[in-house]
Structure 1
Amino acid sequence: MVLLASSPQSSPRRLVSMHFALRTIAIACLLFAFQLFPIGMEASADTPRPNVLIVMADDCTYNDLPMYGGENAKTPHLEELANQGLTFDRAFLAEAICQPCRAELYSGLYPMRNGCNWNHSASRGDIESMPQHLSRHGYRVGLAGKVHVSPRSAFPFEVVDGCDKNCVRNPTRPMQLDSIREFMDRDDAQPFCLVVALVEPHVPWVMGDASAYPPGKLKLPPNIGDTPETRSAFGRYLAEITYMDGQFGQIMSELDAVGKTDETMVLFTSEQGSQFPGNKWTNYNTGVHTGLIVKWPGVVAAGTRTDALVQYADVLPTLMDIAGAEPRPEAFDGSSFAGVLRGESDAHREYAYGTHNNVPEGPPYPIRSITDGRYHYIRNLQNENLYIEKHLMGIKGKGELNNKYWQTWVYQSFEQPEVLRLIQRYQLRPEQELYDLASDPYEMNNLIEDSSLTGVRQELSEELDRWMKSQGDPGSEQDTVETHRAAKNGEHRFGI
């Protein structure tokens, strides 16, 4: 741009004309800037704001995936994503149950603060979530597939068709990509945030090609009892993982077809653990540890991994940071890990927190936990109770949604002592548990009595107490029929 300067010989009329021209140019520039960045939208000095595509699996144990050491599942599309992005080795969610973990992800608030502390309940009606927060910064925010959060006032996603919303349908409806494509391609001038919440590998395990996983050739994890029925069920579960991987590949192909691959951040997460004992509905590592892979072309280094400790509550603050929003620590329990994505930091949070309330999935069995990324401390608040999870251990009607391998564990418990130990581990838990996740990711060796770890135990226990108090968590009183019923009615009894 050439700047015009006046000289001593310039006439007054010429000077006025020049000033008028310069003022006109300045106003035009301002108007152009406001067109690009309307009020409430900020531009990044370094990189443009990306579109955001979040793809969720449903009940997929993180270390059944190959990029986390899984030795069975075939997931070529997710492995390609890992090769193109950043894999988080220490990502957690607060509660290993479908509705609470999604409410945490979408709100940036822990279960106590957003109000959803049980399955089949409700968050507080006055909270805000991803749609409200991101729309203020110019994003279109939609959700395709399984919703499983409420009330609508707190989670007003634009509903996008194309994916089955019913996680227990048999069979799952085929994915239709027209609406997903339309949402991604609708407006080149406005960024989008789209959550695609798939329903595999949630039970019933009926999708995919189970013949690709012959039961006799499978390598079972050490926290799963080895019986023929268990092997058969595990093979069907693995087939659903591969089916889910194929769906992910289709979604990525659509993103490429609309020409937005290079300007879109893709975030995949495996959600909580699978419906095998010790995974979903527990605070064990294979329950609350989630797979998390992020691809951000031009920003995230391809084929990298990080030990940075992150939690579902951190995702929305991260997206807000990337959108250019001013930090609002009071609005979220989590905080942005955008610095980790950009390669500016190798660390994020100091602790990740966990909670479990068993009602209405079974009788009360409240649990709280905390990890620093290596050590995992678990407190069973009513360990005098027998742990029961009705979906996994019981049968309703003809049992279409129940896998009967548990009954084979019980039958074999006399002849197979290792299976008996797994039953006892699942149902008879000590008051406190402590595990070294680096050497024991399946948490088979409780170190709570190890005197060399007294300092670790005390530090984690005290921090867990502090966190519970900060959240207004009364502990056992949360895990009652009365408290659950009150939450469903929008009359939450506890919390801040």
Structure 2
Amino acid sequence: MYRLVLLGFVFCTSGIVSAADQPNIVLFVSDDHGMDALGCYGNPIIKTPHLDQLAKEGVRFTQAYCTSASCAASRSVILTGKFGHATGSYGHVHDYHHFSTFESVKSLPVLLNKAGYTTARVGKYHLAPESVYKFDRVLSADPRNTVEMATACEGVINQERPFFLYFCTDDPHRDAPFQPEPWDAPNSFGNREQGFPGVDTVKYKPADVIVPPFLPDTQPCREELAEYYQSVSRIDQGFGKLVESLRKAGKSDNTIVIYISDNGIAFPGAKTTVYEPGVKLPCIVKDPRMKNQGIVNNAMITWADLTPTILSFAGVKYSASDFHGRNFTTILGETSPKGWNEIYASHNFHELTMYYPMRVVREGKFKLIWNIAWRLEYPFASDLWAASTWQSVYRSGGETFGKRKVKDYLFRAEFELYDLSKDVDEIQNLATDEDHADVLKRLKGKLKAFQLKTKDPWVILWDHDDSMQGTGVGL
């Protein structure tokens, strides 16, 4: 019989509750999936019935944020509870990029393993080194076939010990080749004409997709969105298979399920930016112990909050000072909890050649972006530059990309201040508006305090502040 975990109750000498009281935990992470393509977030065209059902049975967050809209950097935050600028996770880990988390960092799977959990991962990893992000079991499956991935997880699901399953798809990330022939051919987003074993191919007509306002309403863009939608529907089927496996194993009532994406949709204006389409993401949490269902939670949370939250779900004792994020289990059942109206974001690199550090503070309706390298042209991810959606505007010499002027996308002000209650598309920069001078000053102060608190090396660029300057001989 499943017994309720009482967070904050009496812990064993090891710092955890007994194994019998520990719920299983599934963290399902898609790759480049925005809020734009989910039925439960308001899209009437996309077919995502299983994820929509999760929202009906759980909690759907409306203001959940990654802290860096780049795959590897975001995933490091998800599994450490710390911003990448403090852990060395500045950007991509693979090939010549080679960013890597400091060996001293304690990650979520390692901490859960010490607490008695079997930890398993399947699909995209994109983290380094393995000694920091070590899992007990590494499962093999095609990361583009989420049904196959779910099948590969059945052994973990059917075991007796509590488990933590890190389920990471390659969908709906763009797929190679990134430079199509001809140039205006849409990227496949992993879709295949022959389909995938066990997956029903769900295709969409370009005329039917909903073009987000930050994108141009062009035929190339619509064609790419149709491919993106198809990839998202494949995710949903695999998620449904995973839920069914939990049900058949009798684990539905003692398994917490969390669905998120690592960063926003893989189109210019979203992924690799800190504009809302890049960092504001789906987050759905189902805790079967909760009586109320279908809750819409407006708290501002970030992926830095996930590690302390999951440890709290597991009944693992920790110090709040161990992480930059905080536990949101206590406000899951609320709609607009007090004290959850401020978040921070920190982006440094995507690819190695894409140096463009940005820091963000969001306080209520106001959002401040500090473009630290603002004198540089904004760098493009290789796949986004080659995208027919961008090339159709670039090759025609278009002046606008969605609602934003192309020149404003490529060349940005040092500070961007937006009132999101009036300007959801982040077009009207208020940083030079005298009526918002006090807001700008206050948010700059908060941003610097955040950097100092989280030991951000880039704090030195506030008037050459050397308060964090080391001796050059430290670890």
Residue 435 of structure 1: which of 418, 424, 436 is its match?
A: 418
Structure 1 pair 255–366 and aligned structure 2 pair: CA distance change class (3 A): same
Show CA shifts across 1:125-148 (max 9, x none): 111111221122222121111111
Residue 247 of structure 1: which of 235, 238, 249 is its match?
A: 238
Structure 1 pair 418–328 and aligned structure 2 pair: CA distance change class (3 A): closer
Structure 1 CA distance, aligned partners of 2:403 and 2:450? Answer: 35
The answer on 1:124 being equivalent to 2:108 is no
The answer on 1:411 being equivalent to 2:395 is yes
User: Shift of residue 331 of structure 1?
Assistant: 1.6
Residue 56 of structure 1: which of 11, 29, 33 is its match?
A: 29
Other-structure match for 1:368: 359
* Within-5 A mapping of 1:65-464: 65-120=38-93, 121-165=99-143, 175-187=148-160, 190-204=161-175, 205-207=189-191, 212-299=203-290, 301-343=292-334, 346-347=337-338, 349-358=340-349, 360-394=351-385, 402-414=386-398, 421-464=404-447
Q: TM-score, normalised by structure 2?
A: 0.83
Structure 2 CA distance, aligned partners of 1:241 and 1:477? Answer: 41
The alignment partner of 1:87 has SS state of: strand
The answer on 1:40 being equivalent to 2:14 is yes
Greater helix proportion = 1
Structure 2 CA distance, aligned partners of 1:108 and 1:232? Answer: 37
Other-structure match for 1:470: 453
Count of residue correspondences: 429
Other-structure match for 1:484: none
Letter in structure 1 aligned against 2:210: K
Structure 1 pair 359–68 and aligned structure 2 pair: CA distance change class (3 A): closer
User: Shift of residue 364 of structure 1?
Assistant: 2.5
User: Shift of residue 238 of structure 1?
Assistant: 1.2
Letter in structure 1 aligned against 2:122: A
User: Shift of residue 41 of structure 1?
Assistant: 5.6
User: Residues 324 and 454 of structure 2 are in contact (CA less than 8 Å); yes or no, is this contact kept in structure 1?
Assistant: no
User: Shift of residue 343 of structure 1?
Assistant: 4.4
Structure 1 CA distance, aligned partners of 2:218 and 2:335? Answer: 48
User: Any gaps of 5 or more consecutive residues in structure 2?
Assistant: 1-10, 94-98, 176-188, 462-471
The alignment partner of 1:320 has SS state of: helix
The alignment partner of 1:215 has SS state of: coil
Once the two structures are aligned, what percentage of the paired residues are identical? Answer: 28
The alignment partner of 1:91 has SS state of: strand
Q: TM-score, normalised by structure 1?
A: 0.79
Letter in structure 1 aligned against 2:190: V
User: Residues 73 and 242 of structure 1 are in contact (CA less than 8 Å); yes or no, is this contact kept in structure 2?
Assistant: yes
| Greater displacement, 454-463 / 374-383 | 454-463
User: Shift of residue 473 of structure 1?
Assistant: 2.2
Letter in structure 2 aligned against 1:130: L
| Greater displacement, 316-325 / 469-478 | 469-478
Structure 1 pair 62–86 and aligned structure 2 pair: CA distance change class (3 A): same
Structure 1 pair 211–445 and aligned structure 2 pair: CA distance change class (3 A): farther
| Greater displacement, 322-331 / 172-181 | 172-181
| Greater displacement, 113-122 / 96-105 | 113-122
The alignment partner of 1:55 has SS state of: strand
User: Shift of residue 349 of structure 1?
Assistant: 4.1
Structure 2 CA distance, aligned partners of 1:343 and 1:88? Answer: 10
Letter in structure 2 aligned against 1:427: L
Other-structure match for 2:183: none
User: Shift of residue 318 of structure 1?
Assistant: 1.3
Structure 1 pair 418–354 and aligned structure 2 pair: CA distance change class (3 A): closer
User: Shift of residue 421 of structure 1?
Assistant: 4.2
Letter in structure 2 aligned against 1:455: D
Letter in structure 1 aligned against 2:113: S
Q: What is the CA RMSD across the aligned residues, in angstroms?
A: 2.8
Structure 1 pair 389–172 and aligned structure 2 pair: CA distance change class (3 A): farther
User: Shift of residue 97 of structure 1?
Assistant: 0.6
Structure 1 CA distance, aligned partners of 2:264 and 2:370? Answer: 19
Show CA shifts across 1:460-480 (max 9, x none): 2111111112233232999xx
User: Shift of residue 348 of structure 1?
Assistant: 5.1
Structure 2 CA distance, aligned partners of 1:326 and 1:461? Answer: 34
User: Any gaps of 5 or more consecutive residues in structure 1?
Assistant: 1-36, 166-170, 395-401, 479-492
Structure 1 pair 348–248 and aligned structure 2 pair: CA distance change class (3 A): farther
Structure 1 pair 66–376 and aligned structure 2 pair: CA distance change class (3 A): farther
